[in-house]
């Protein structure tokens, strides 16, 4: 039987070879592993070895060497290709046997023998791929069939895993030609199988991917044995797609024979990332451009967010404060315990929706802030910090204090006017009666004793003093509206200084005047401004009980004028400094406590403000700030 099959194969050798080659040469997978001339030589030699096998059944055939000598790359895909070549050859021979006009006797046995030969070829290839012994001469035929089935099953497992992986996978030779590609790869890039097999991977390259990028990629593969990273690839329709690419070499017997590339489509991931980045940038832009103070703190009270409005308000840069304790830098020590309680409430989900507190700027100034607070949570809804959005209400607070102060002054003024009015009439009567009493005594012809004269003068003097106090109270309660007129402020100041200079000299006080300009034309109420200057200068004289230096300085800037009046007296004790502008507050035995209150009211009605600095034992300076813009009634 064997010799008859051998004769049949010899007889139809050329026809079998031609048909065999034609049936496989158009398959891109096969022609990639066995290119043109190699495929022809392979089939020719394979057919010759099959003929030899039937002529000499006991002769050993090295099927492994025959295939591996000609394979471009040994892999699951190439073993699959060699299996296909063998099966096509078997089908061609069987078909021709069936069509033979004088069929070989006992064709069934002939078919079984052919199956056995090709099974041996397949078995050898499977064993080569799975690193198992290529032949099993000692095993019974049934056991060889069982082993063959196990090997096929294992190959199918590998090949199915390759084909049905959700990641795109390609296998290339050392030159970068694609030997095999799975369904996921074809789906990602939109190609048909026969459009990519045999092609160089360069068709996937996106225009923006530089040569330098690829140089570094292959440098990594050659030095580290792999490359992993994001890359932009081009699809069949020209669209670009981001992928996560992993390239690893394939080895056989220690020799590199090709590469495997695994490509994961990360378009959706990138879309989500870009959306998150866009949202993050939008949020950051809102935070940075918001006309509100925005600060974020972690559970330790450390700053995690600090926007530009906070930078402008506090004078600190974000880089200076990130990671540092908010309470230590920005809160006055006196209020830290109460604010820390509020923060503890926030992080324990007991959030006050509104809170006001002062903060410290870099210069040490206190700014009053109204905060809206909320907790910051992570993806597990756990509180990880707090967010505060604030408005600077310092000016509002000052205005409220001014309004409150004005209301108090109005109330006090009304009371003072009523009291002064009620007192003035009796005082006038007392004064008149005292004077009449003196006249009556003198007209009686009797000489008034010296003691009686002293008593009468004392009564009249005290009545005069009380009358003057009532006039001060009435003036405070009925301070007239300012009547601003153009005038020379420097000239007015000099007049007042000259008026008090004799008194200053008698007290051993030297007056020093420093003017940036000799003429300063402003619009002001001369009478009210004279009264303010007199009040402050007289206070300065009285503060220097042992003599000293009184300095009057005028500075002219673009928007305002500063009048600074400094003395070298006793200074104002710290505990009294917040009371000196309060009406009726005085430390003098004979004072009304209205001088500075009236002065403050006058300066504010001129659109300015009055401040002071004082150091006990060294002296006091009052600053009068007046706007240069025209005063409007």
One-character DSSP codes across 19-57: HHHHHHHT-HHHHHHS-HHHHHHHHHHHHHHHHHHHHST
Residue 479's pLDDT is what?
54
Residue 588's pLDDT is what?
60
Residue 137's pLDDT is what?
46
Residue 633's pLDDT is what?
43
Residue 228 has pLDDT above 60, yes or no: yes
Residue 619 has pLDDT above 70, yes or no: yes
- Homologous superfamily in CATH for domain 290-392: PAS domain (3.30.450.20)
Mean pLDDT estimate for the chain: 79
Residue 143's pLDDT is what?
54
Residue 553 has pLDDT above 50, yes or no: yes
Rounded mean pLDDT, 563-587: 79
Q: How far apart are CA 111 and CA 1, in angstroms?
A: 11
Q: Report the range of poorest mean pLDDT among 114-123, 159-168, 170-179, 506-515.
A: 114-123
Q: Report the range of poorest mean pLDDT among 28-42, 423-437, 441-455.
A: 441-455
Which of 417, 527, 408, 535 minimizes the C-alpha distance to 474? 417
Residue 26 has pLDDT above 60, yes or no: yes
What values do phi and psi take at 347, rounded to 5? -75, -15
Q: Which is more confidently placed, 332 or 136?
A: 332
Helix intervals (H) in 100-226: 107-129, 141-164, 183-189, 193-196, 211-224
Task: Specify whether the CB–CB gap between 221 and 227 falls below 8 A.
Answer: yes
Contacts of 378 (CB under 8 A, 6+ apart): 384
Residue 322: band (very low, low, confident or very high) from pLDDT cuts 50, 70, 90: very high
Q: What proportion of the chain, given as a percentage, has pLDDT over 90?
A: 13
The C-alpha angle 614, 616, 618, rounded to 5 degrees, equals 80
Q: How far apart are CA 90 and CA 84, in angstroms?
A: 10
The top-scoring range by mean pLDDT among 93-102, 138-147, 308-317, 469-478 is: 308-317
Residue 632's pLDDT is what?
46
Helix, strand or coil, per DSSP, at residue 391: strand
3-state SS, 249-293, equals EEEECCEEEEEEEEEEECHHHHHHHHHHHHHHHHHHHHHHHCCCE
Helix, strand or coil, per DSSP, at residue 559: coil
Residue 148's pLDDT is what?
60
Q: In what order do the strands lie in the sheet with 509-515?
A: 509-515, 548-556, 560-567, 619-627, 609-615
Residue 139's pLDDT is what?
47
Q: How far apart are CA 255 and CA 258, in angstroms?
A: 9
Q: Which is more confidently placed, 183 or 404?
A: 183
The top-scoring range by mean pLDDT among 395-399, 502-506, 629-633 is: 502-506
Distances (CA, A) of 209 to 214, 240, 446: 8, 11, 127
Residue 556: band (very low, low, confident or very high) from pLDDT cuts 50, 70, 90: confident
Residue 358 has pLDDT above 70, yes or no: yes
Rounded mean pLDDT, 533-537: 89
- The architecture (CATH level 2) of 485-627 comes to 2-Layer Sandwich (3.30)
Residue 185's pLDDT is what?
93
Residue 206's pLDDT is what?
92
Q: How far apart are CA 195 and CA 181, in angstroms?
A: 10
Q: How far apart are CA 570 and CA 427, in angstroms?
A: 37
Q: Are strands 293-298 and 168-172 parallel, antiparallel or unpaired?
A: unpaired
Task: Specify whether the CB–CB gap between 517 and 494 falls below 8 A.
Answer: no
Residue 136 has pLDDT above 50, yes or no: no
Rounded mean pLDDT, 229-250: 91
Q: Which is more confidently placed, 429 or 145?
A: 429
Which token pair is 344? Answer: 């503890």
Residue 275 has pLDDT above 70, yes or no: yes
Residue 424 has pLDDT above 80, yes or no: no
Helix, strand or coil, per DSSP, at residue 575: helix
Residue 138's pLDDT is what?
45
Residue 324: band (very low, low, confident or very high) from pLDDT cuts 50, 70, 90: very high
Residue 154's pLDDT is what?
64
Q: How far apart are CA 527 and CA 148, in angstroms?
A: 121
3-state SS, 99-121, equals HCCCCCCCHHHHHHHHHHHHHHH
Q: Which is more confidently placed, 200 or 225?
A: 200
Q: What is the tens place of the pLDDT at every residue in 585-605?
A: 566 655 556 677 778 878 888
- The architecture (CATH level 2) of 168-270 comes to 2-Layer Sandwich (3.30)
Residue 438 has pLDDT above 90, yes or no: no
């Amino acid at each position: 039987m064997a010799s008859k099959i051998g004769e049949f194969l010899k007889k139809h050798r050329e026809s079998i070879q031609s048909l065999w080659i034609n049936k496989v040469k158009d398959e891109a997978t096969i022609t990639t592993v066995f290119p043109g001339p190699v495929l022809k030589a392979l089939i020719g030699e394979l057919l010759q070895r099959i003929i030899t096998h039937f002529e000499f059944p006991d002769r050993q055939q090295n099927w492994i060497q025959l295939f591996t000598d000609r394979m471009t790359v040994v892999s699951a895909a190439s073993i699959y290709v060699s299996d296909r070549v063998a099966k096509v050859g078997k089908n061609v021979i069987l078909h021709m046997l069936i069509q033979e006009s004088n069929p070989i006797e006992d064709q069934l046995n002939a078919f079984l023998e052919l199956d056995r030969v090709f099974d041996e070829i397949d078995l050898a290839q499977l064993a080569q791929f799975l690193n198992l012994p290529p032949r099993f001469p000692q095993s019974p035929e049934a056991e060889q069939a069982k082993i063959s089935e196990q090997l096929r099953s294992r190959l199918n497992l590998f090949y199915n895993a390759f084909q049905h992986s959700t990641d795109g996978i390609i296998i290339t030779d050392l030159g970068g030609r694609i030997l095999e590609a799975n369904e996921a790869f074809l789906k990602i890039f939109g190609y048909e199988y026969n459009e990519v097999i045999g092609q160089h991977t360069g068709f996937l390259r996106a225009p923006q991917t530089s040569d330098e990028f690829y140089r570094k990629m292959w440098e990594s593969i050659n030095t580290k044995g792999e490359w992993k990273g994001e890359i932009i690839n081009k699809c069949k329709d020209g669209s670009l797609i981001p992928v996560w690419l992993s390239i690893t070499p394939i080895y056989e017997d220690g020799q590199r024979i090709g590469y495997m590339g695994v490509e994961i489509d990360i378009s959706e991931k990138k879309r989500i990332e870009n959306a998150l980045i866009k949202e993050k940038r939008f949020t950051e832009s809102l935070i940075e451009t918001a006309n509100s103070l925005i600060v974020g703190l972690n559970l330790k009270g450390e700053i995690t967010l600090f926007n530009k409005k906070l930078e402008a308000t506090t004078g600190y840069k974000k880089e200076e404060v990130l990671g540092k304790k908010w309470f230590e830098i920005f809160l006055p020590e006196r209020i830290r315990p109460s604010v820390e309680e509020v923060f503890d409430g926030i992080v324990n989900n007991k959030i006050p929706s509104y809170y006001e507190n002062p903060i410290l700027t870099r210069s040490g100034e206190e700014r009053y802030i109204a905060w809206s607070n909320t907790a910051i949570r992570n993806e597990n809804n756990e509180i990880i910090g707090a967010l505060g959005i604030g408005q600077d209400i310092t000016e509002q607070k000052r205005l409220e204090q001014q309004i409150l102060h004005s209301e108090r002054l109005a109330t006090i003024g009304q009371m003072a006017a009523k009291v002064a009015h009620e007192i003035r009439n009796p005082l006038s009567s007392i004064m008149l009666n005292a004077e009449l009493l003196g006249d009556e005594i003198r007209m009686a012809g009797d000489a008034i004793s010296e003691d009686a004269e002293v008593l009468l003068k004392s009564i009249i003097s005290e009545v005069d003093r009380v009358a003057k106090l009532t006039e001060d109270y009435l003036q405070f309660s009925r301070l007239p509206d300012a009547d601003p007129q153009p005038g020379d402020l420097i000239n007015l100041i000099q007049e007042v200084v000259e008026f008090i200079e004799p008194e200053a000299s008698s007290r051993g006080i030297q007056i020093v005047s420093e003017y940036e300009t000799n003429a300063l034309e402003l619009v002001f109420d001369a009478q009210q401004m004279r009264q303010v200057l007199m009040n402050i200068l007289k206070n300065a004289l009285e503060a220097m009980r042992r003599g000293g230096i009184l300095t009057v300085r005028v500075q002219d800037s673009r928007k305002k004028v500063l009048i600074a009046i400094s003395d070298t007296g006793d200074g104002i004790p710290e505990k009294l400094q917040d009371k000196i502008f309060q009406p009726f507050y005085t430390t003098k035995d004979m004072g009304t406590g209205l001088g500075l209150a009236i002065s403050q009211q006058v300066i504010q009605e001129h659109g300015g403000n009055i401040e002071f600095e004082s150091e006990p034992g060294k002296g006091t300076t009052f600053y009068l700030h007046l706007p240069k813009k025209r005063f409007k009634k």
